[in-house]
Structure 1
Amino acid sequence: MNSNPRQIKLLDVVRTHGSASVEQLADKLEVTLQTVRRDVQRLSEAGLLTRFHGGVRVPSSTIENIAHRQRESLNAEGKARIASAVARRIPNDCSLILNIGTTTEAIAKALLNHKGLRVITNNLNVAAILCGNTDCEVIVAGGVVRARDRGIVGEAAVDFIRQFRVDIAVIGISGIEPDGSLRDFDYREVKVAQTIIEHAREVWLAADSSKFNRPAMVELATLSQINRLFTDTAPPEPFPALLEEAGVSCEVAHI
């Protein structure tokens, strides 16, 4: 499914509070109970919410991400806007690293008309997409391939990334917590992403609105290690102050 803005806001409310009743959601979104029930039905069928009597909760835990197929459908429109905004800022003839995630895969699609790119990735989906650009050289990290999303993780991938220093690293993330920490679920993926940050002249974070206030187990970095944030809606509190304090430039990708 391609969640609409109201459904994205519904997910944000549930994620912020952990759970919510149908009545609370209707009041917060200023819609009817019937509209909320229809949205909840669609979102639960897509695996994005878990229903209980009278309400819903977030199905994902701090130790396991939701499935790749479900993440692809979650706020696909917002991710596409982010991807277009990132692509507009990436010049031709530069070196990049794109890591694991459905948002970075959307960015790869937005780069298909760029020229002279040299892209390093530990994401087989990104590699497959960018192979469609004959004016782009794609370099794929070695390591263990995670079957569920075709991400490449492990020490071999870390050692591979250490050979390079690129102009821009564009990274995705599973969650940004209110203390300014960037978090993910797989410590093996985190080790690769940390190495990517260390070996880039600039680090750009691409994160849609569902990532704010979303918990995950492993700390990857902090906002102070990021140069730019690209997102699809204005960050909620307390993130504007955190971004300003960290010196992060934030670009909201509008339609």
Structure 2
Amino acid sequence: MLSGMLRTERHARILEHVTAKGSAGVEELSRMLDVSGATIRRDLQQLHALRLLRRTHGGASVGTFGLEAPLQYRSERRRPEKVAIARAAAALVPQDAVVGLTGGSTAMAIARLLAERGPVTIVTNAVDIAAELILHRDVTLVVIGGTARRESYELVGPLAEKTLAEYHTDIAFLGVDGIGAAHGCTTHDQLEAATDRAFTENSSHTVVVADSSKIGKVTLARICPLSKVGHLVTDSGAPQEELTRITAAGVSVTTV
């Protein structure tokens, strides 16, 4: 029974379903989420107002609205897979390491695991991760400044890149919107891509953490080629053919 789920989680399920199919009707969504048609209509109107989908007669479609959902919705997608990915990723971190973390829900899960394990030094441009970690005594926290992105809670731009150039991390975890053999790592925002690239350029080892929906996908701005990536951690739903191509490019792949 799904009728008791939180509105944010329900919105995330709607966005994921509509994105995957291109469109969906009110009755279809009502059955899927076990809520009334009136509830679904309110949800669709709210998501339309946020420009996350297009409200249509009888349902909703992807349309031409925003390509990147705000983090509070993305964090609810594929939550079990992201938690499993985070556990496998955190296991790659040596004791007392200096760790770079870009933003995203998987990176947040990694941050929590590392903070519990401690001691660790974390360099991040994500304000939500910084707020989560600041009270942990076993975490030495370095926050990278820059221009705030509302969609990802990250600080990006020239200031962030300049600051990152002054630090070196033993391992950096990179969240991406797409990764594939042909186009490497990509994201929706050009400024975010450049800041993410700075993380890879100033780390001994870069690990991409991406659920299976990101594998083989290409988005607007290129972060880096696969030659800059040492390891990919993803879930078992990833297309095997694409994982084989990524492995052939020299990237170690862990599936959970």
**TM-score normalised by L of structure 1:** 0.78
| Paired AA for residue 109 in structure 2 | A
State the Cα distance separating 1:122 from its structure 2 match.
Answer: 0.5
- SS of residue in 2 equivalent to 1:157: helix
| Paired AA for residue 199 in structure 2 | I
Q: 1:59 to 1:81 in 2, by over 3 A?
A: farther
RMSD: 3.2
Task: Tell me, in whole angstroms, the C-alpha distance in 2 between the residues paired with 1:69 and 1:21.
Answer: 22
Alignment equivalent of 2:32, drawn from 39, 47, 53: 39
Pair 1:68 & 2:71 matched = yes
Alignment equivalent of 2:149, drawn from 146, 150, 153: 146
Q: How does 1:112-151 map to 2 (within 5 A)?
A: 112-151=115-154
User: Which position in structure 2 is the counterpart of 1:99?
Assistant: 102
Q: 1:250 to 1:132 in 2, by over 3 A?
A: farther
User: Which position in structure 2 is the counterpart of 1:31?
Assistant: none
User: Which position in structure 1 is the counterpart of 2:164?
Assistant: 161
CA deviation profile, 1:99-131 (whole Å, cap 9, x unmatched): 122221121122222222111110011111222
Pair 1:185 & 2:178 matched = no
State the Cα distance separating 1:181 from its structure 2 match.
Answer: 2.3
Pair 1:170 & 2:173 matched = yes
Q: 1:14 to 1:156 in 2, by over 3 A?
A: closer
Residues 14 and 56 in structure 1, CA contact (< 8 A), matched pair in contact too: no
Task: Tell me, in whole angstroms, the C-alpha distance in 1 between the residues paired with 2:240 and 2:22.
Answer: 19
Q: Does 1 or 2 have the higher relative contact order (CA < 8 Å, sep 6+)?
A: 1
Q: 1:85 to 1:134 in 2, by over 3 A?
A: same
Task: Tell me, in whole angstroms, the C-alpha distance in 2 between the residues paired with 1:165 and 1:122.
Answer: 14
Alignment equivalent of 1:232, drawn from 223, 235, 238: 235
CA deviation profile, 1:10-36 (whole Å, cap 9, x unmatched): 958964xx63788xxxxxxxxxxx877
Bigger mean CA offset, 72-81 vs 49-58: 49-58
Q: 1:213 to 1:12 in 2, by over 3 A?
A: farther
User: Which position in structure 1 is the counterpart of 2:22?
Assistant: 19
Point out where structure 1 has 5 or more consecutive residues left out of the alignment: 23-33
Number of residue pairs the alignment of both structures matches:
235
State the Cα distance separating 1:148 from its structure 2 match.
Answer: 4.0
**TM-score normalised by L of structure 2:** 0.77
Pair 1:217 & 2:220 matched = yes
Point out where structure 2 has 5 or more consecutive residues left out of the alignment: 1-7
Task: Tell me, in whole angstroms, the C-alpha distance in 1 between the residues paired with 2:120 and 2:76.
Answer: 28
